Structure 1
Amino acid sequence: MRLASETLGEGGDAPLVVAHGLLGAGRNWGALAKRLAKRRKVIVVDMRGHGDSPWSDDVSYPAMAADLAGTIAAEAGGRADVMGHSMGGKAAMTLALEHPARVRKLIVADIAPVAYDHSHADTLAAMAALDLSTITRRAEADRALAASIPNLALRAFVAQNLAIESGAARWRPDIAALAAGMDGLVGFPARFAHDSFAGPALFLRGGASDYVSPAMHGAIRARFPAARIETVEGAGHWLHAEKPEAFLAAVEAFLDA
């Protein structure tokens, strides 16, 4: 699948491809991508079923990895540094394991190659249940979602996925496909249980997040033996948004090494 993408900057040792998380979009990385692009070419993608990229019933990590491999082949000269957050981090890990020749350096933000107990099914169900025919402004969607998504920050994040054109509202993400594929999205492909990526890898975890616990470090190093695991202190799961300076410093130090 050809992904929608935005390219910024030029130069550097290798282009940097950035993959967002579930219900995100490339535009979520706008400010950080611009700063990273001062010293290198940066390609920010919309993952399949998100943003302006095409929809597909297949939202598996191997499918997402194939999309990223295609982007690298078409827009990054065949090999790139790859950075992914959450869902995008799992897609980036899958890319490195399945298409290692496409990846020079790997950066994974607050996710591990393991299956998680949590699910975002309730959020997707709330989005699917919203009567879009009654929505003409994001503020109306916010009020309508308040009962089913009480967390204000999460609700604001979800609302960014609402497109309103000529008075008609629609969700940019493929809610049905993502909901149907949720078991795979919270998991990690079992077929890579004995595979590894030998290249440089940086795993950044939020100090206030429980997504990458010490118990998961073994699973990370089994598949990524050269991995460095670092903590962005005081950051939760959206560490790049909550602590952008610390996140940026860690990423640039790794890419420049």
Structure 2
Amino acid sequence: MNFISTGEGSTVILIHGLFGNLDNLKTLGKALESNYRVIRIDVPNHGLSQHSDSMDYPGLAQSVISLMDELAIDKAHLVGHSMGGKIAMATALANPHRVKSLIAADIAPVGYPARHDLVFAGLESIKLDQLQSRGEALNQLVEKGIDEGTAQFLLKNLSKGDEGFKWKMNLEGLKACYPNLIGWYNDKVQSPLQFTGASLFIRGGDSDYVTADHKQAILAQFPHVQAKTIEGTGHWLHAQKPAIFNRIVSDFIDKHDRN
């Protein structure tokens, strides 16, 4: 699994969401690296990490643990946004002794309805072998009904080499595994797991990803949870109000780094 490590001290692992890469939480990483060792990862099938035809939360959680083993990290703080939050939660549920604290940004430990059909359709509509420029790709996504901000984010996955444009992410694999990614870990095991360590859920005040309907599912799986809402933000709360988000995360990790 591709990663970048900065700073020294206790380890914090930052995990991005669907269609993202290790740069998505770079601003948070910079805020933490003066006091901690910060590891930003490319989730499998994203960025420069390996491509795979199979992708589910048990496997993704094991990928995090395997990286920790490779780097001789006994315990780490885990911070994840959206799908990355689910990966962090799954890792904590399956390996509670390896997690100092858990922070999930704007995601709940539940299954979700499909929300990305338009995105997949837009990305698949781009004929890479005929593409002349990134601007052309942007225009094509906008024409498919994707807002420009989201289109710019998605096109961070587009790279150009001697043979033309290609996706860094495994688009075909992500689409095939999408039902697993919107599903949930505890729904797939016989005995639901629980993480009793320190947990923090941060939600965007204008987002519908974490609602009052999710409270019981959160408490059942993460009974020692704390919750914060950042008003005036949506699902991309870490990018919309980074100073507030970074402070909330830093304060929580500082408080629980003695474990």
TM-score bin (small chain): over 0.9
Residue 197 (structure 2) aligned to one of 184, 196, 199 = 199
User: Who is 1:105 aligned against?
Assistant: 101
User: Who is 1:228 aligned against?
Assistant: 226
User: Who is 2:174 aligned against?
Assistant: 178
User: Who is 1:218 aligned against?
Assistant: 216
User: Who is 2:120 aligned against?
Assistant: 124
Unaligned runs of 5+ residues in structure 1 are none
Residue 87 (structure 1) aligned to one of 60, 83, 88 = 83
Q: Which moved more, 1:193-202 or 1:223-232?
A: 193-202
The residue identity in structure 1 corresponding to 2:243 is E
Contact 2:158–2:165 (CA<8 Å) still a contact in 1? Answer: yes
Give the direction of change, closer, same or farther, for the CA distance of 1:68–1:133 in structure 2 (3 Å limit): same
Give the direction of change, closer, same or farther, for the CA distance of 1:110–1:60 in structure 2 (3 Å limit): same
**Distance (Å, rounded) in 2 between the aligned partners of 1:136 and 1:172:** 17
Q: TM-score w.r.t. structure 1 length? A: 0.95
**Distance (Å, rounded) in 2 between the aligned partners of 1:76 and 1:149:** 46
**Distance (Å, rounded) in 1 between the aligned partners of 2:200 and 2:122:** 34
The residue identity in structure 2 corresponding to 1:5 is F
Question: What SS does structure 2 have at the residue aligned with 1:26?
Answer: coil
User: Who is 1:78 aligned against?
Assistant: 74
> How many pairs were matched up?
253
Question: What SS does structure 1 have at the residue aligned with 2:243?
Answer: helix
Task: State the Cα RMSD in Å.
Answer: 1.3
The residue identity in structure 2 corresponding to 1:78 is D
User: Who is 1:141 aligned against?
Assistant: 137
Question: What SS does structure 1 have at the residue aligned with 2:193?
Answer: coil
**Distance (Å, rounded) in 2 between the aligned partners of 1:150 and 1:73:** 40
Deviation at 1:125, TM superposition (A): 2.4
Structure 1 position 250 matched with structure 2 position 256: no
**Distance (Å, rounded) in 2 between the aligned partners of 1:68 and 1:95:** 7
After superposition, give the CA deviation of every residue in 1:102-121 in whole Å (9 maximum; x if it has no partner): 21100000000111123213
**Distance (Å, rounded) in 2 between the aligned partners of 1:154 and 1:118:** 17
Question: What SS does structure 2 have at the residue aligned with 1:208?
Answer: coil
**Distance (Å, rounded) in 1 between the aligned partners of 2:91 and 2:179:** 19
**Distance (Å, rounded) in 1 between the aligned partners of 2:169 and 2:206:** 28
Deviation at 1:20, TM superposition (A): 0.2
Unaligned runs of 5+ residues in structure 2 are none
**Distance (Å, rounded) in 2 between the aligned partners of 1:87 and 1:76:** 25
Deviation at 1:72, TM superposition (A): 1.6
**Distance (Å, rounded) in 2 between the aligned partners of 1:165 and 1:137:** 12
**Distance (Å, rounded) in 2 between the aligned partners of 1:15 and 1:181:** 29
Q: Which moved more, 1:123-132 or 1:207-216?
A: 123-132
**Distance (Å, rounded) in 1 between the aligned partners of 2:29 and 2:145:** 29
The residue identity in structure 1 corresponding to 2:171 is I
For residues 17-96 of structure 1, the aligned pairs below 5 Å read 17-75=13-71, 77-96=73-92
Give the direction of change, closer, same or farther, for the CA distance of 1:255–1:220 in structure 2 (3 Å limit): same
Contact 2:122–2:140 (CA<8 Å) still a contact in 1? Answer: no
Q: TM-score w.r.t. structure 2 length? A: 0.94
**Distance (Å, rounded) in 2 between the aligned partners of 1:149 and 1:182:** 21
For residues 133-172 of structure 1, the aligned pairs below 5 Å read 133-166=129-162, 168-172=164-168
Deviation at 1:95, TM superposition (A): 0.5
Contact 1:119–1:182 (CA<8 Å) still a contact in 2? Answer: no
The residue identity in structure 2 corresponding to 1:191 is K
After superposition, give the CA deviation of every residue in 1:87-133 in whole Å (9 maximum; x if it has no partner): 11111111111111221100000000111123213212221221001
